[in-house]
Amino acid sequence: MKRVLITSAIPSVNGVKHLGNLVGSMLPADVFARFCRARGYDTLSICATDEHGAPIELAAAEDGIAVKEYCDKWHAVQKDLGDRFGLSWDHFGRSSSPQNRALTEHFARALWKNGLLEVRTTKQAYSATDGRFLPDRYVIGTCPHCGYDRARGDQCENCTRVLDPIDLIDPRSAVSGARDIEIRDSQHLFLKQSKFVDKLRAWIAGHVHDWPVLVTSIANKWLDEGLQDRGITRDLEWGIPVPDDIAGGQLKGKVFYVWFDAPIEYIGATKEWADKNSLGDDAWRDWWYGDKAKDVTYFEFMGKDNVPFHTIIFPAMIMGTGEPWKLVDRLKGFNYINYDGGKFSTSGKRGLFMDSALEILPADYWRYYLMANAPESSDSNFTWEHFAGVINKDLADVLGNFVNRVTKFCVARFDGKVPSEGVYGEDENALCAELDRRVAQYTDYLEALEFRKALGELRAIWVAANEYITRSAPWTHFKNDRAQAAVGIRMGLNLVHLFGHLAWPVMPNAARAIHHAIQDSPPVIPWPDEPMKEFLDQLEPGQAINPPDVLFAKITDEQVADWQLRFGGMGES
RNA sequence: GGCAGCGUAGCUCAGUGGUAGAGCAGGGGAAUCAUAAUCCCUUGGUCGGGGGUUCAAAUCCCUCCGCUGCUACCA
């Protein structure tokens, strides 16, 4: 059986994610995972919260709670929102887990043993008032180039020049405002990325045809600019401590850089999953390690900001262990979705976040819209008018109304049972032939991770059903040829049944409601692989149906106006 | 500054050498089962500007303009 491993870039634990975060990683990963399960593949879908890094430490401090407590709280919130969005992870882990700590230590030891890590002394900003080293971006001061007085230590926002905290005039702590910034020596571990350039280049060259241009161009850009060795430890309290047996204990009290342990958490979370279900070590290792994992196809989903970490640093780490860990096979990167012409912003609370999205509409509305307009070839733009137009036309009018008109007619004229009279003729054969093509195309697009095109094809399938029922016109035939009307409605009901199957990866709840109009559905609604002539002729005549209530309520102009007001935006960023 | 992506119909986007496309919006018609939902026909573009290669360019090359992103301690 085909084995498919799916990971989505792990979201930072701090706060509720916005729709931009969702559309580039978690949502497409879930649509694909559901599709794979529907096709009967052996599928493992993994995500987690990324719980390390200076911003998280500082956010906890701001809330006046311990970092552990902060992470517990927001992990639970994100898990709950994921569940409510229908994200069907096999496991939603935590990068702070003991499993990830053990694996991170393992990776570091293997890299150390292979001579691919080295200790270097770096100059770091330190504030005695804060009692801590400050990451570059947490030192602010006056830009030496343009005089902007709130330049960050890593870059001046005003003139965009890249800076070093040492360059700043009148430097101060962004945490406390303290001015006692001094530069101290600090020792850190560096990953000798420069040793991997040729290997990485060859590996990436092998994927120019199955990765998006976006991904290979970002990866090659990093290689072309020359890979610098990268610091993989930080002077922080919260994180995975560097074990004493590395570098003779010189790094006591330091933790690994968040981007060192975060990708390892894909593996860590898989071990968490195995442990939680008492499956034993082989259960997780067979997905990731050695010969048993060779038949696994590994898919990663992420926004473009994550691409360098997944095409350069993490692969270098894996290659550097010299151990047979799985490298990604298919890397799907996404651009950004903008909100009313500006950026989504977590800190600026601009845009639409997962919790408020669910307050106003069910998850499936968002799932459909976001995948149908996924930012695959370039950034895309969310506007309330466009959103309402798509939902109303595609979901309410084309799909929802089809289900409604067919089931209502069946109740009114055929006693709410699948009619038995008549036999399929030329029109039905032609429809089956068309749907054979279209369903195959839809399937191919999903296999190819072309979500926007896939959903366009799904929509075309719904349109084909409306065209058929118009040609078939059972409401006309009913008056003098009941058998002819029965054929149209029987096919109509079979089409509704088909829609329940086809929509499930994208809209699991709506798909279930549609399927329920015909009959109960299994937990995983399987993919309709058989010829349409068979699939669309399988409902038992005489079987009772359950006409649903309105499946998709239309969005009114008043709602659009209300939401625009409530969620701000309107072009300002 | 450097690099990358993008620029095609009013809007959102397909289209990598061979007669400019889809959906939505707009216009006309049909139908009346249905959430006034559907179906058919249709208006609409010198493919960001300019130059070049070619029998042929939205597509390849050069150049300019615009938007967006990245630029390694924000993930």
Half-sphere exposure of A501 (CA within 13 A, CB side): 22
Burial class (CB in 10 A: 0-12, 13-18, 19+), A436: middle
How many Å from the CA of A433 to C1' of B71? Answer: 52
**What are the φ and ψ backbone dihedral angles of A226, each rounded to 5 degrees?**
90, 115
The whole-angstrom separation of Cα A14 and Cα A19 is 15
Half-sphere exposure of A270 (CA within 13 A, CB side): 22
Radius of gyration of chain A (CA): 27
Show the tokens assigned to A296: 């696994």
How many Å from the CA of A551 to C1' of B35? Answer: 9
Q: Which alpha helices (H) appear in A11-97, and where do they start and end?
A: 19-21, 27-38, 54-63, 67-84
How many Å from the CA of A38 to C1' of B34? Answer: 31
Does the pTM exceed 0.80? yes
Q: Where are the domains of chain A?
A: 383-535
Q: What number of residues does chain A have?
A: 573
How many Å from the CA of A553 to C1' of B33? Answer: 20
How many Å from the CA of A552 to C1' of B27? Answer: 29
Which residue is the nearest neighbor of B11, CA to C1'? A386
Instruction: Give this complex's ipTM.
Output: 0.92
Nucleotides in B strand less than 7 A from protein CB: 1, 3-7, 11-15, 22-25, 31-35, 37-40, 68-75
Show the tokens assigned to A327: 């490298």
Which residue is the nearest neighbor of B13, CA to C1'? A373
- In chain A, pLDDT over 70 holds for what percent of residues? 97
Nucleotide nearest to A313 (CA to C1'): B72
The whole-angstrom separation of Cα A303 and Cα A26 is 10
Give me the amino acid identity at A59.
A
Local structure of A156: helix, strand or coil:
coil
How many Å from the CA of A377 to C1' of B19? Answer: 28
Nucleotide nearest to A464 (CA to C1'): B39
Local structure of A122: helix, strand or coil:
strand
Nucleotide nearest to A466 (CA to C1'): B38
pLDDT digits (tens, 9 = 90+) for A187-196: 999 999 888 9
Cβ neighbours for A74, distance < 8 A, ≥ 6 positions apart: A13, A14, A15, A49
Burial class (CB in 10 A: 0-12, 13-18, 19+), A177: exposed
Scored b (16 or more CB within 10 A) or e, A153-172 reads beebeeeeeebebebbeebb
Q: At what angle do helices A27-38 and A363-372 cross, to 10 degrees?
A: 100
Nucleotide nearest to A21 (CA to C1'): B75
Which residue is the nearest neighbor of B3, CA to C1'? A221
pLDDT digits (tens, 9 = 90+) for A59-81: 888 899 999 999 999 999 999 99
How many Å from the CA of A449 to C1' of B56? Answer: 35
- Eight-class DSSP state of A229: P
- The CATH architecture that domain A383-535 belongs to is Orthogonal Bundle (1.10)
Q: What pLDDT is recorded for position A144?
A: 79
Handedness of CA A301, A306, A307, A312 (dihedral sign): negative
Local structure of A52: helix, strand or coil:
coil
How many Å from the CA of A294 to C1' of B74? Answer: 36
Nucleotide nearest to A450 (CA to C1'): B14
Comparing CA positions, the residue from A400, A454, A371, A276 lying closest to residue A85 is: A371
| Chain centroid to CA A208 | 22
The residues of chain A scoring below 50 in pLDDT are 569-573
